[in-house]
């Protein structure tokens, strides 16, 4: 059976008083397993999608939170802005033309936008959660 699995987690390290990012990847080609464990600066889903968009000169480049790498709650293209959920997807009824200003995304329940990098279980190759 072939599969790819990745687990990302940010943990507080008391000794250094800092957040440490951990990344575990397990892959199988059907004949055996490969396990990779990394610590340090592992890109979040938003950072990964942002880099891909910039490298391909895409029309839309996701905006990531500079503090933790999660998707910004407000995402904008050249013509519209909208409120985004934890995966960066547009939330219903939040789209607004840029000429009218950005939507107020603060009214949305905060639980819809928890810190995505803290724990993310996803399949490698599909970073859209």
Phi-psi region of 93 (alpha: psi -120 to 50; beta: other; left: phi over 0): left
Residue 56 domain flag: yes
- The per-residue pLDDT for range 54-93, each reduced to its tens digit, is 999 999 999 998 877 889 999 999 999 999 988 888 999 9
CATH number for the domain that contains residue 98: 4.10.800.10
Residue 127 domain flag: no
Q: The whole model's pTM is what? A: 0.56
Residue 129 domain flag: no
Phi-psi region of 114 (alpha: psi -120 to 50; beta: other; left: phi over 0): beta
Residue 128 domain flag: no
Residue 61 domain flag: yes
Give the domain range for residue 15. 2-122
Per-residue pLDDT band for 8 (boundaries 50, 70, 90) equals confident
Split into its structural domains, the chain has a count of 1
Sign of CA dihedral 71, 46, 44, 30: positive
**Could you tell me the CA-to-CA distances from 31 to 39, 97, 122 in Å, in that order?**
27, 52, 22
DSSP annotation of 32:
-
Phi-psi region of 127 (alpha: psi -120 to 50; beta: other; left: phi over 0): alpha
């Amino acid at each position: 059976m072939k599969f790819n699995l990745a687990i990302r987690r940010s943990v507080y390290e008391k000794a250094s008083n800092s957040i440490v990012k951990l990344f575990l990847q397990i892959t199988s080609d059907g004949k055996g397993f490969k396990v990779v464990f990394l610590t340090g600066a592992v890109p979040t889903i938003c950072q990964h999608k942002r880099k891909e968009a910039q490298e391909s000169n895409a029309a839309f480049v996701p905006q990531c939170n500079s503090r933790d790498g999660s998707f910004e709650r407000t995402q904008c293209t050249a013509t519209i802005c909208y409120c985004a959920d934890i995966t960066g997807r547009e939330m219903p009824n939040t789209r607004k033309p840029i000429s009218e200003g950005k939507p107020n995304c603060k009214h949305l329940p905060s639980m819809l936008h928890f810190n995505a990098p803290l724990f993310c279980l996803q399949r490698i190759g599909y970073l859209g959660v």
